[in-house]
Amino acid sequence: MDIENTAIGVIQDLQELAIQTSDEKGAQRVAWTPVWDKAEEWFKTKMIAEGAEISVDSAHNIWAKFSGESEEAIIIGSHLDSVPNGGWLDGALGVVAGMGIGKRYGMHGVKPKKTIYIVCWADEEGARFGQSCMGSAAVSGTFTAEQAKCLKDNEGIEFQEALQPYQLKAENFSMARREFLAKPIQAYLELHIEQAPVLENAGKSVACVYGVAGCYRQYITFKGQQAHSGSPITMRQDAFLAAAEASLAFRDIGIRHQAYCTVGKVTVHPDVVTIFPGLCTISLDQRAIEGDVLEQIVIEAKQAAEQAAKDNKVTVSFETIWQTPPTIFDKSLKALCQKAVTEETGEDTTMYSGPLHDAVEISKVVPSIMMFAMSVKGLSHCMEEDTPIPVLKQAIRAFLRLTDHVLKK
């Protein structure tokens, strides 16, 4: 099957998956739910029809194996789960592109030079239990049984209970790492939508992704003294105003360092119209592709929060939630990815990713690389998420070129 027809087939499969797993509000493939199960069964049925050998590891990552002339293998994949009311491409693009590559071999009777695994990583989004990249992190060893046993969803259902229909046990998730390392894998390739407007604003359709920004996430709590809203503003100990001033300072820090600073959650107490808050907690998510820049913006954010607290006569405290260093992908795979993008588009477009992806976890155990397709308006995690079909086809063709280059390596 040639590259053009493969790309057309991938888009048709993406559209079919969307019809089967979406409603009027968008994609509903939340991990550990019946709709996600339906998507995974769809994947397995399609791959079995192409002659793939299906297996499921101890972390519920689903593998479709196409044996090659050599046992040396490459992996192509992403995730099929979505956020509630999500888009039709996030995660699914990488898996279905892999399915298209499987179809180029499979029942066509042409063995690839190397063995190919198409993988659906389990629960990348963390939409139900709050743990992102669960399946790939189990493979990398960063998601442990102890963490798994502590997870609960919004209804109070424990993760272990949710695993029962899958005949899985949280304490066995760590076995996925040993199962992965037993495979002679040389490379991991992932195609994904950008989830930001950088490519669209630059007039580009496809990019080689050389790395993923590191992240430092924390809660910052300002504590003052609540009182009546009739009190003079200059005489208040208003926790919310301190948080608001700090938030504006965070934005300036991000712009100054060409990094990311996001306040996504704000809670105040008491939450009453006629009272200014004595307590305000905000989240702060900071990201940068350079480790020293990430360290610097975290320091500057702390200083800005302390200054805002002082100016508003309140106190401030900090609680780290989670952190991960920047990831730089394999240099040789980057060169092949740049070559594929240039061959397809005529331009060497390279960028890094702000959002986290499964490739970050897998890069800890095997050389990895990513490729991005442009996102319209940078929208993702919503039903409006989209990439024009001509752009989507071009991205898939570029990714197929990359796969061919890696198979010949």
Structure tokens that stand for 57 in this block: 């590891």
Cα 253 from chain centre: 24
CA distances from 346 to 199, 210, 352, 371 (A): 15, 18, 20, 16
Q: CB–CB of 327/363 below 8 Å? A: yes
> According to the annotation, is 90 in a ligand binding site?
yes
Give the Cα separation of 240 and 312 in Å (integer): 9
Strands (E), 272-404: 275-276, 279-288, 315-324, 327-328, 350-353, 368-373
Give the Cα separation of 167 and 407 in Å (integer): 35
Burial class (CB in 10 A: 0-12, 13-18, 19+), 17: buried
To the nearest 10°, report the CA torsion of 241, 247, 253, 255. Answer: -120
**∠ CA 169-98-53 to the nearest 5 degrees?**
55
Structure tokens that stand for 355 in this block: 């959002």
Strands (E), 127-200: 185-193
Give the Cα separation of 75 and 242 in Å (integer): 49
> According to the annotation, is 60 in a ligand binding site?
no
CA distances from 225 to 176, 236, 237, 302 (A): 51, 8, 5, 22
HSE (side-chain half, CA atoms, 13 Å) at 274: 2
CA distances from 383 to 86, 88, 324, 401 (A): 5, 7, 29, 30
Residue type present at position 69: E
> According to the annotation, is 192 in a ligand binding site?
yes
Give the Cα separation of 399 and 22 in Å (integer): 26
Nearest to 16 by CA among 98, 88, 124, 111: 88
Annotated binding residues, as ranges? 79, 90, 125, 192, 381
Annotated binding residues for Zn(2+), as ranges? 79, 90, 125, 192, 381
